[in-house]
């Protein structure tokens, strides 16, 4: 399940892809439109006022897993059509501009399914807006493609679900960098941030090498199931890890770094490193 934060007039609305369409967190929508400090209470009163909405609530709302302050939890979400119905019960001057915004962002996913290059273009633009250099973006985008190829391979080889993917990813990371992703995030002082969005060029390159090698080994050995693919992940990660150690030995510099881009954008730090 893919998640993304959408922004309306400076306020974040969590959304997630379910059945190939965007589903929005209802409490976030209500908070944005009403400025309510207690969206749950507002929703309760709204349903009490609008009997038709209350009657069809079960058809409109679906609990989906999204990020919360307490970690991943299932919260009530609705698709674009459902949110439009809910908006009808919210008297707000923001309703009309929100409807136009919702129609646009809700349609993005449809466009990206029909033309995946649109999704890639939007991702590039997002990284540019966050201050990443073109050189870094090229590596990050390539890494996304390599990762997608690996997870598709796991899917076809009956590895399991997201939990198994996380274990295999940790195997690759441990063999490549000497630490699991969670340990790596601790080193970089990251919390909910995406680890790879805070990697340097070399860190991204060795991440790609580990995952590309794992994909190749799984294919050539026709690895099936979790156990065989775990072995492939360890071997793929070791190839990247050995290459990393060799580079560190020759260059005299560590590849793994505690650097992150929380306090300054990647483009700025790249320029500072060159001075």
Q: Are 30 and 72 part of one and the same domain?
A: yes
Q: Are 244 and 261 part of one and the same domain?
A: yes
Answer yes or no: is pLDDT of 210 > 90.
yes
Q: Are 87 and 133 part of one and the same domain?
A: no
Q: Are 126 and 241 part of one and the same domain?
A: yes
Residue 116 is predicted with a pLDDT of 55
Residue 118 is predicted with a pLDDT of 56
Q: Are 76 and 143 part of one and the same domain?
A: no
pLDDT in tens, 142-190: 999 999 999 999 999 999 888 899 999 999 999 999 999 999 999 999 9
Q: Are 269 and 134 part of one and the same domain?
A: yes
Domain that holds residue 147: 118-274
Q: What are the Cα distances from residue 222, in Å, to 152, 218, 235?
A: 14, 6, 14
- Average pLDDT in the chain: 89
Which of 19-23, 73-77, 188-192, 267-271 has the weakest average pLDDT?
19-23
Q: Are 244 and 144 part of one and the same domain?
A: yes
Q: Are 70 and 163 part of one and the same domain?
A: no
pLDDT in tens, 94-147: 888 888 888 777 666 655 555 555 567 777 887 888 899 999 999 999 999 999
Answer yes or no: is pLDDT of 33 > 80.
yes
Residue 141 is predicted with a pLDDT of 93
Q: Are 256 and 218 part of one and the same domain?
A: yes
Residue 189 has φ and ψ, to the nearest 5°, of: 60, 45
pTM: 0.62
Residue 44 is predicted with a pLDDT of 94
- CA dihedral sign, ordered 260, 187, 185, 230: positive
Last residue of a domain, one of 94, 114, 134: 114
What is the mean pLDDT of the segment spanning 29-58? 92
* Higher pLDDT among residues 225 and 21, named by residue: 225
Answer yes or no: is pLDDT of 68 > 90.
no
What is the mean pLDDT of the segment spanning 70-75? 84
* Rounded Cα gap, residues 27 and 34, in angstroms: 10
* 25: Cα within 13 Å, side-chain hemisphere: 24
Which of 14-23, 53-62, 257-266 has the weakest average pLDDT?
14-23
Last residue of a domain, one of 83, 114, 145: 114
Domain count, the chain: 2
CA dihedral 93, 17, 15, 137 (to 10 degrees): -110
Place of tokens 């989906």: 64
30 alpha-carbon distance from chain centroid:
24
What is the mean pLDDT of the segment spanning 37-53? 93
Q: Please list the helix, strand and coil fractions of the chain in percent, rounded to the nearest 5, in that order.
A: 65, 15, 25
Q: Are 168 and 142 part of one and the same domain?
A: yes
Task: Identify the band that residue 191 occupies on the pLDDT scale cut at 50, 70 and 90.
Answer: confident
Q: Are 146 and 269 part of one and the same domain?
A: yes
118 alpha-carbon distance from chain centroid:
17
Q: Are 155 and 170 part of one and the same domain?
A: yes
Last residue of a domain, one of 96, 114, 132: 114
Residue 1 is predicted with a pLDDT of 45
């Amino acid at each position: 399940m893919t998640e993304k934060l959408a922004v309306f007039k400076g306020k974040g609305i969590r959304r997630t892809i379910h059945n190939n369409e965007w589903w929005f967190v209802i409490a976030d929508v209500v908070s944005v439109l009403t400025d309510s400090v207690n969206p749950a209470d507002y929703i309760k009163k709204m349903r009490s006022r609008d009997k038709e909405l209350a009657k069809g609530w079960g058809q409109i709302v679906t609990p989906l897993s999204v990020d919360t302050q307490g970690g991943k939890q299932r919260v009530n979400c609705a698709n674009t059509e459902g949110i439009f119905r809910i908006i009808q019960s919210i008297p707000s001057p923001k309703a009309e501009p929100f409807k136009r915004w919702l129609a646009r962002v809700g349609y993005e996913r449809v466009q990206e399914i029909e033309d995946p290059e649109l999704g890639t273009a939007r991702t590039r633009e997002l990284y540019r807006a966050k201050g990443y250099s073109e050189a870094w973006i090229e590596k990050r985008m390539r890494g996304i493609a390599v990762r997608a190829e690996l997870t598709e391979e796991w899917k076809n080889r009956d590895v399991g679900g997201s939990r198994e993917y996380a274990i295999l990813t940790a195997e690759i990371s441990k063999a490549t960098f000497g630490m699991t992703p969670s340990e790596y995030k601790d080193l970089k002082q990251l919390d909910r941030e995406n680890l790879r969005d805070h990697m340097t060029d070399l860190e991204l390159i060795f991440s790609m090498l580990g995952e590309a090698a794992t994909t190749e080994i799984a294919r050539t050995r026709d690895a099936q199931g979790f156990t065989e693919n775990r072995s492939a992940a360890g071997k793929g990660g070791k190839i990247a890890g050995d290459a990393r150690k060799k580079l560190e030995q020759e260059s005299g510099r560590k590849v793994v770094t505690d650097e992150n881009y929380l306090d300054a954008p990647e483009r700025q730090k790249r320029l500072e490193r060159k001075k």
